[in-house]
């Protein structure tokens, strides 16, 4: 009887994990600070905006955690924002990291924040290059956002430079995302 209960629990846990979509390394797991306040973000948003942090590249969970804490400290302590600006960030290890997360408005693209989620790659992609695991993670995250209803199935994908005067998301990311479905020039 105990083994049947254990098997049932294992099946339920696995099915719940699959239903939740891509695994996101929580802010607690990477050592992030709690936000000082949040603003709710609606569902079925029309846009996803891709960024780079223009800082250090990382390849391990520990190194990415240090970079994430540095970015969050800069956003909160220097810029006065209530949290890290992006909804999610992707490291060179291919992991998706929680920034502001689901259903919380970011601070990543000025007037576009209420209408979009912001996904940033850790590094400077004017010279760093995207690895296949990072591309796959971003695409899985976008699919998960659609499945969760965070962005609409007909969302438009932009690079940050399309909505603001910036080099972001860097040349290498820019060249990559222009071939993705949903990208709009």
Rounded to 5 degrees, φ, ψ at 90 are -125, 130
- Which structural domains are found in the chain, ordered by start? 24-178 (3.40.80.10)
Picking from 159, 56, 150, the residue whose alpha carbon sits closest to that of residue 100 is 150
pTM recorded for the entire structure? 0.89
pLDDT at position 20 is 62
CA 148 to chain centre: 14
Asked if 96 contacts 25 with a C-beta cutoff of 8 angstroms, the reply is yes
Confidence class of residue 21 from pLDDT cuts 50, 70 and 90? confident
pLDDT tens digit string along 73-108? Answer: 999 999 999 999 999 999 999 999 999 999 999 999
């Amino acid at each position: 009887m105990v083994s049947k209960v254990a098997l049932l629990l294992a099946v339920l846990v696995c099915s719940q994990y699959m239903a939740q979509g891509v695994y996101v390394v929580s802010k607690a797991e990477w050592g992030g600070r709690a936000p000082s306040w949040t603003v709710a973000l609606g569902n079925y948003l029309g846009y996803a905006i891709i960024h780079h942090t223009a800082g250090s590249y990382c390849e391990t969970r520990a190194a990415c955690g240090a970079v994430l804490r540095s970015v969050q400290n800069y956003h909160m302590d220097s810029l006065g924002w209530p949290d890290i600006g992006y909804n999610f960030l992707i490291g060179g290890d291919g992991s998706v990291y929680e920034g502001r997360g689901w259903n919380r408005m970011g601070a990543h693209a000025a007037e576009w924040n209420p209408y979009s989620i912001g996904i940033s790659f850790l590094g400077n992609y004017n010279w760093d290059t995207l690895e296949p695991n990072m591309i796959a993670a971003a695409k899985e995250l976008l699919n998960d956002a659609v499945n969760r209803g965070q962005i609409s199935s007909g969302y438009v994908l932009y690079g940050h430079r399309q909505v603001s005067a910036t080099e972001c998301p860097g040349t290498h990311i820019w060249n990559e995302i222009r071939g993705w479905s949903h990208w709009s020039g």
